Amino acid sequence: MTYTRHKIKRVLLHIILLLVLYILQTSVFTRLRLFGVYPMLLPLAVVGIGLFEEGLWGGIWGIAAGVLCDISMADSFLLFTVTLTVIGFFTGFFSEFIIARGFPSFFVLSVISLILIALLQMFKYLVFYKVDFMLLSKVALYQTLYSAIFIIPVYYPVRRVTRRTRA
């Protein structure tokens, strides 16, 4: 297979993965809310792509996933685009030089990313709308825990796509 065909296949597999997770996150799980929240699947994919590919790919797919998240959530102007880009890039950077590429790293980085995203979502409501911290932290905890349930189900397709494209 030529280099160009390989690169096109690589990009298409990543696009399909992100679109499937986007559809699940926005169409399926928005109807299956637990405690008023639904899981965030795209940040998990960004962590995986960054971890198993490299910083540049993690950043690029962080932008794509962030735009999709911002489109689906009306009140998150550029929050996910910027956050997921940074998460994807630095996950990839750290996986090249500091941390091992494997499930334990994926799990820890996914949990850290979910907590970071929940805190950033809380910020606006804490600062500008003066919403009670305990109420917001309870919602953030529910969202983080509900999303964390999907760490293993997201890990395997991400690992398969990145393994197939790295070969």
The 10s digit of each residue's pLDDT in 114-137 is 999 999 999 999 999 999 999 999
Confirm if 57 and 50 have CB atoms less than 8 A apart: yes
pTM for this entry: 0.92
Contacts 24+ apart (CB under 8 A), 160-167: 161/13, 161/14, 161/17, 161/49, 162/48, 162/49, 162/52, 162/53, 163/52, 164/13, 165/6, 165/9, 165/10, 165/13, 165/14, 165/53, 166/52, 166/53
Confirm if 57 and 92 have CB atoms less than 8 A apart: yes
Q: Which two tokens stand for residue 21?
A: 């997770």
| Residue partners of 155: CB distance under 8 A and separation at least 6 | 44, 48, 103, 106, 107
Residue 167 pLDDT greater than 60, yes or no: no
What is the pLDDT at residue 165?
53
Q: Domain 2-166 adopts which CATH fold? A: Arp2/3 complex 21 kDa subunit ARPC3 (1.10.1760)
Question: What is the rounded distance in angstroms from the CA atom of residue 164 to the CA atom of residue 158?
Answer: 10
- Rounded mean pLDDT, 74-84: 89
